[in-house]
Amino acid sequence: MAEWSKAQAWRACVPLERRGSNPFPGVTASPELGDNMDNQKNADEKIKHIVRIAGTDLEGNKSVHYAITGIKGIGRRTARIIAQNAGLDLKATMGYLSDEEIERLKKAVEDFEKNSPRWMINRQKDPILGIGRHITSSDILLTLQEDINRMKKTRSYTGIRHERGHKVRGQRTRSTGRKGAIVGVVRKKLIAAKGEKK
């Protein structure tokens, strides 16, 4: 059997009533292309190219669902729930949202930990506060540094490993992680220098 061209393969997959010379029936070339370009410019003037939520600049040309994922600590699943809690269309463009809708979105981001199950938040039991929190944006790095400093102060094994700059999670260190002053070549030079002194 001979190989099909792209057009033949397309026609074989499309029902009879939709077949024709144009593979995209709803799309036609517009003679008023200039007018369309002017309308596009007017639309672009109204768009907010940057929307600020939770201390993060979000891209205005993306859909709400994917724009919210620009905030650190919010993934696609979390973003979907936040947009639904705010009562927004997931596919709406972020830059075209009204100020009132953006405020609703900000409120939904702040109240995410109250409106979601405990297993879904990213800090389920804070050791200091004793409650579950969902941390976003710059608070993630601050919380991480506080945790490491607390481990160093309590002299836990993990804290000591952090302090010394060694691997923390039980990895082997014989052949990897060899950074710092004492490596094999330097050691040989030190031994040679001691031998000359004797």
- Three-class SS string for 11-30? HHHCCHHHCCCCCCCCCCCC
Instruction: Give the chain's domain count.
Output: 1
Distance CA 163, CA 155 (A): 9
Query: Is residue 143 in some structural domain?
Result: no
Distance CA 192, CA 198 (A): 10
Q: What is the pLDDT of residues 76-134, one digit of tens each?
A: 999 999 999 999 998 999 989 889 999 999 999 999 888 888 888 888 888 888 888 88
Tokens of 55: 């201390």
Q: What SS3 state is found at 173? A: coil
Query: Is residue 93 in some structural domain?
Result: yes
Q: How many other CB atoms are found less than 10 A from the CB of residue 86?
A: 20
Query: Is residue 158 in some structural domain?
Result: no
Q: How confident is the model at residue 15 (pLDDT cuts 50, 70, 90)?
A: low
State residue 12's pLDDT score.
56
Type and span of the H or E element at 163: helix 157-164
Q: Which residues pair with 133 in a beta bridge?
A: 123
Question: CA–CA distance from 153 to each of 52, 55, 97, 103, 157 (Å)?
Answer: 37, 30, 47, 41, 11
State residue 104's pLDDT score.
92
Query: Is residue 31 in some structural domain?
Result: no
Tokens of 104: 């609703």
CATH of the domain at 98: 1.10.8.50
Q: What is the pLDDT of residues 47-86, one digit of tens each?
A: 888 889 888 889 888 999 999 999 999 999 999 999 999 9
Place of tokens 């030079």: 189
Query: Is residue 14 in some structural domain?
Result: no
Query: Is residue 138 in some structural domain?
Result: no
| Greatest Cα pair distance in the chain | 98
Query: Is residue 182 in some structural domain?
Result: no
Mean pLDDT confidence for 184-189: 68
Instruction: Give the range of the structural domain holding residue 60, as residue numbers without chain letter.
Output: 47-117
Query: Is residue 107 in some structural domain?
Result: yes
Chain mean position to CA 44: 26
